[in-house]
Structure 1
Amino acid sequence: MQFIEESAGTQREEFAEKESLWSQMVEIVKFSGPAVGLWICGPLMSLIDTAVIGQVSSIELAALAFTGANNAEIIAAANTYVQIRGLAWPAVLIGWVAQSARSTPVVAGYMMIEALIKKGYNGFAISIPSPEELLQIFMLAAPVFVTMMSKVAFYSLLVYFATSMGTQTVAAHQVMIQLYCMCAVWGEPLSQTAQSFMPELIYGANQSLAKARTLLKSLVIIGALSGLILGSIGTSVPWLFPKLFSSDPEVIQEMHKVLIPYFLALCVTPSTHSLEGTLLAGRDLKFISMSMSGIFCLGTLLLLLLSRSGYGLTGCWFTLVAFQWTRFSIALWRLTLPNGILYSEETTRYQLGKLKTV
């Protein structure tokens, strides 16, 4: 009888935890969902450019990437594209000036200052940072900068290596990388969610590492589901409707060659954003910058090896798979360490002391 009661109690606790986890996941979706619109605007416009230009010519489609010795025929088209973009700069500058002259940013800035005042901060205080404060800002910003530049540099290297494979291959890579960017940014709001709510749970006034671990579990589950959905949809478009981007059979053939690595790289991306956002929230900046630099170096070596071995565009995309899954594995390993930021209170006290100093 006692055993039955204990089992029932355990089941009730598990059910309550699942119910709480589900409620938390719903709240995360409500919080992060609207932010998706801010992230997809840029990639969506680039994808529209790619689709429109791809209907005209494969050469002009390839001209949106770097150029190389094996595709010198796209230089003229690339030059025309650059000139057109150059002519658009005056309009871009006028738009920036007009945006800065509007009252909306002023009102938004005032509302943010008022929110800070309600939380006990002096939002109107202006002071010149001391050398020590500038050093602390640099110590926080430098690792984040290294992390971002490592990712940008790796994606640029993918395009650079693709330029040595011919015009049709470059055109196919342009389509696939734009589709990838369009789908990958859907995971960015999960990183923002982690950076918004994790600090309070890790080293804030309402510190609770158990709740932080539950929040991370919710984020990873949402990321995994999002990755599978985005990967399935993102793979179906170039597989079933490749002529939306190009009618060239060779370009379509090259696109279909990388569908498997495209799916594998994309399905893990949202979860990776959740994990790395948690590392940023926990101020584990040195680790994330060093690990990203190391992954970048190893990815570059693998990319060079596969390219020289004649694996073509497929080799480039499988290198991206290795890059993404390595980021996911290392971040997950770091966050599940017994002495990590989500398990050791001594670590969080140390982080809290550093933040108070800042």
Structure 2
Amino acid sequence: MTYKPSTTIVLALLLSLSVAVLGSAFAPSNHNLPIVPRRTFSTQNTRYPVAKSSRDDVLGNDDNKENPQEDGVADPKETIRGGASTVSLPAKPPADPTFGDIRKFALPCLALWVSGPLLSLVDTSFVGLSGSAAESAKQLAALGPATTFFDGATYLFAFLNVATTNLYSSARARSGEQSDEAEGVVRTAARVARNCGIGLMIFLFVACRPLLKLYIGHEVEANPYLLDSAVDYVTIRALSMPTSLLLGVLQAALLGAKDSVTPLIAIVYSTAINLVGDFVLVNRLKMGLQGAAIATLVAQLAATAALVGPARKRLVRDHNLGIMKRAESVVSGKSFLAFAAPVLTLILGKLAAFGFMTNAAAGVPGQPIPLATHQIILSLFFFVSPFLEVISQTAQTFLPPYFAPVKDYVLSMQKRDPDYDVTKDSKVKPWLDKSMGVSTKLVRLGLLVATVVSSIASLVPAYFGNLISSDSTVQVAVKPLAKYLLAGCFLAAPVAVAEGILLAKRELKFLASVYLVSTALLPTALVWVKKIGGNVEQVWGCFAAFQLFRAICFVGRLYGGSLLAKLMALFQKKEIPPPKAVQPIRKAS
């Protein structure tokens, strides 16, 4: 791989900038706030006692030692006979979040979801509009697989963000924002993200060329420039991996604190810097693909630098995230990864599904029209997905305050009495009813949003094909796929929202098992389609069935038990009439 002299100079400066960001932004502040003592806090008229928690509490293990009463608040654990203890459960659960609360959180969060693809889109626009037509076409051909490969590698580590949001929200509900447990989640997540980012950066330096060669396929032999340019792009952007993964977990922690505005401000900074960088490096200095990669790298470093300051002030009391300087944490990396590992199964299942679909579409006879229509529908589906994933994120943020206290209480009661029946405990019922009410509200909101966005998206291939392709053959071929796009996008609502609720409830084994089964079934069906020489309609029909299967499993997990209980109660209410009394037979006189 060769670089221009100007590129080498810029890369050296950027490497220095990376070290500066990691060294200064993450060092302890000179103006540390005094550590706030344990205290009580109020969450929507519900008082929770804040207690120092062990690292295992993050995963629901209830083995804290008893804490003395402070500030006149009842001890969260009450001593019972035999020396055991039980967690006290407040009488009232938190109030329902209003639509205004959800809207204020979800709209900035939606901007965060589209920020990653937006950076790649900015690069694509500047590369496509700069230089001669022939040079632009060659660089766009290399940029496509490069951005897809890089975004896929980054998305693979999204399990760190999911784990951070869930664990931090639960820790806040259990112990308060300014507590050892909540801060321990942040420090451990930041440390794990740093280590994963360094490992991924080294891996991309070493393995990106053979992997990209395999990913691009036989076109590499016909056009070696394609591979060289794609490798240049990925290698430059790989320098941002340590800070990019750190940026993700800090955003996730702030979202767990119900703050979606601060991460959005950092993304606005990075987008502006990316625009300026692309204009200078690509449009003016004619550095092409390398210039676009450098501009995006600087933008991601700037976003991390812009977010780390507010995160240190908001998330940790001593302003030390534990990145460059070791900080004590009651949450171990092992316990953090114990939650994150099953989430990785979910992400791998999603990536595998779309990978097998693209492979099956590429094997359909009559290329390149089938693959072009598949790519159009897939792009429209990816456009719709963030509108539903943001509701899943909302569920992961707003629901742990309802689930975490009940879970700790029930576990402690089960330790106290092996015969404890949660269905007969009057203290638990209001919490379960409230959590189910909030969950149902989010599911309804997801269905409403899905109805709107899926209808709009499916109208494009059905009636406005000229907006996505100038080829009349493609316009005709993509029209029958509109109904499958509508079904797949609409079913994404119960899948995404119910998945977020189950993540908040920590139903990780169930989620992982469903994804393992569905991910095994979908490739089998797609291989069959490819074997019989099927069409793209059958490929997307398999995806619609894949979505339906997951929707039934997830929604059934949420509501199946309550529906069965209602049916049983209805059956028990039906009184069987007593048998009529047998009249004695009178003898004839």
- Asked if TM exceeds 0.5, the reply is yes
Distance in 2 between residues matched to 1:181 and 1:274, nearest whole Å: 16
Unaligned runs of 5+ in 1: 1-19, 67-71, 341-358
When you count helix as a share of all residues, which structure comes out higher?
A: 1
Q: 1:32: which partner in 2?
A: 106
Match of 2:477 among 234, 237, 254: 254
* Contact 2:462/2:480, CA 8 A, preserved across alignment: no
* Contact 1:187/1:271, CA 8 A, preserved across alignment: no
Any residues of structure 2 matched to 1:56-67 within 5 Å, and which?
Answer: none
**Larger relative contact order, structure 1 or 2 (CA cutoff 8 Å, min sep 6):** 1
Letter of the structure 1 residue corresponding to residue 337 of structure 2:
F
How many Å apart are 1:276 and its aligned residue?
0.3
Distance in 2 between residues matched to 1:189 and 1:107, nearest whole Å: 23
Any residues of structure 2 matched to 1:71-220 within 5 Å, and which?
Answer: 82-88=227-233, 89=236, 90-91=290-291, 94-95=294-295, 98-99=298-299, 102=302, 105-106=304-305, 108-117=307-316, 124=320, 126=322, 133-165=332-364, 166-204=367-405, 208-220=431-443
Q: Does 1:240 align with 2:463?
A: yes
Letter of the structure 1 residue corresponding to residue 463 of structure 2:
L
How many Å apart are 1:248 and its aligned residue?
1.9
Distance in 2 between residues matched to 1:248 and 1:75, nearest whole Å: 26
How many Å apart are 1:39 and its aligned residue?
1.7
How many Å apart are 1:227 and its aligned residue?
0.8
Distance in 1 between residues matched to 2:319 and 2:491, nearest whole Å: 40
Match of 1:221 among 440, 444, 462: 444
Residue aligned with 2:384, SS: helix
Q: 1:332: which partner in 2?
A: 555
* Contact 1:162/1:316, CA 8 A, preserved across alignment: yes
Say if 1:318 and 1:194 are closer, same or farther in 2 by CA, change over 3 A: same
How many Å apart are 1:219 and its aligned residue?
0.9
How many Å apart are 1:190 and its aligned residue?
0.7
* Contact 1:40/1:186, CA 8 A, preserved across alignment: no
Q: 1:298: which partner in 2?
A: 521
Say if 1:79 and 1:234 are closer, same or farther in 2 by CA, change over 3 A: farther
How many Å apart are 1:315 and its aligned residue?
0.7
Say if 1:255 and 1:74 are closer, same or farther in 2 by CA, change over 3 A: farther
Q: 2:506: which partner in 1?
A: 283
How many Å apart are 1:185 and its aligned residue?
1.7
Say if 1:125 and 1:83 are closer, same or farther in 2 by CA, change over 3 A: closer
Letter of the structure 1 residue corresponding to residue 554 of structure 2:
A
TM-score of the pair, normalised by structure 1:
0.73
Residue aligned with 1:336, SS: helix
* Contact 1:62/1:171, CA 8 A, preserved across alignment: no
Letter of the structure 2 residue corresponding to residue 29 of structure 1:
R
Say if 1:29 and 1:325 are closer, same or farther in 2 by CA, change over 3 A: farther
Match of 2:530 among 296, 307, 310: 307
Alignment root-mean-square deviation, CA: 4.0
How many Å apart are 1:328 and its aligned residue?
1.3
How many Å apart are 1:29 and its aligned residue?
2.7
TM-score of the pair, normalised by structure 2:
0.46
Q: 2:492: which partner in 1?
A: 269
Distance in 2 between residues matched to 1:62 and 1:318, nearest whole Å: 29
Distance in 2 between residues matched to 1:260 and 1:46, nearest whole Å: 29
Residue aligned with 2:522, SS: helix
Q: 1:7: which partner in 2?
A: none
Say if 1:142 and 1:241 are closer, same or farther in 2 by CA, change over 3 A: same
Q: 1:344: which partner in 2?
A: none
Say if 1:172 and 1:213 are closer, same or farther in 2 by CA, change over 3 A: same
Letter of the structure 1 residue corresponding to residue 339 of structure 2:
L
* Contact 1:195/1:280, CA 8 A, preserved across alignment: yes
Letter of the structure 2 residue corresponding to residue 124 of structure 1:
N
How many Å apart are 1:175 and its aligned residue?
1.2
Say if 1:111 and 1:319 are closer, same or farther in 2 by CA, change over 3 A: same
Distance in 2 between residues matched to 1:78 and 1:174, nearest whole Å: 22
For these two proteins, the number of residue pairs brought into alignment is 309
The structure with the larger Rg is: 2
Distance in 2 between residues matched to 1:134 and 1:45, nearest whole Å: 31
How many Å apart are 1:305 and its aligned residue?
2.4
Distance in 1 between residues matched to 2:112 and 2:297, nearest whole Å: 21
Letter of the structure 2 residue corresponding to residue 171 of structure 1:
A
Deviates more, 1:90-99 or 1:264-273: 90-99
Distance in 2 between residues matched to 1:45 and 1:176, nearest whole Å: 21
Residue aligned with 1:269, SS: helix
Distance in 2 between residues matched to 1:75 and 1:243, nearest whole Å: 31
Residue aligned with 1:247, SS: coil
Deviations 1:145-194 (A, max 9, x none): 11101101110110011111221111111111111101112111111111
* Contact 1:44/1:182, CA 8 A, preserved across alignment: no
Deviates more, 1:27-36 or 1:224-233: 27-36
Distance in 1 between residues matched to 2:222 and 2:101, nearest whole Å: 48
* Contact 2:402/2:435, CA 8 A, preserved across alignment: yes
Say if 1:175 and 1:231 are closer, same or farther in 2 by CA, change over 3 A: same
How many Å apart are 1:40 and its aligned residue?
2.4
* Contact 2:141/2:226, CA 8 A, preserved across alignment: no
Letter of the structure 2 residue corresponding to residue 203 of structure 1:
A
How many Å apart are 1:107 and its aligned residue?
5.4
Residue aligned with 1:283, SS: coil
Say if 1:41 and 1:125 are closer, same or farther in 2 by CA, change over 3 A: closer
Distance in 2 between residues matched to 1:73 and 1:94, nearest whole Å: 28
Residue aligned with 2:363, SS: helix
How many Å apart are 1:251 and its aligned residue?
1.6
Deviations 1:93-144 (A, max 9, x none): 5346534664x64453232233234xxx6663745899x9333223211111
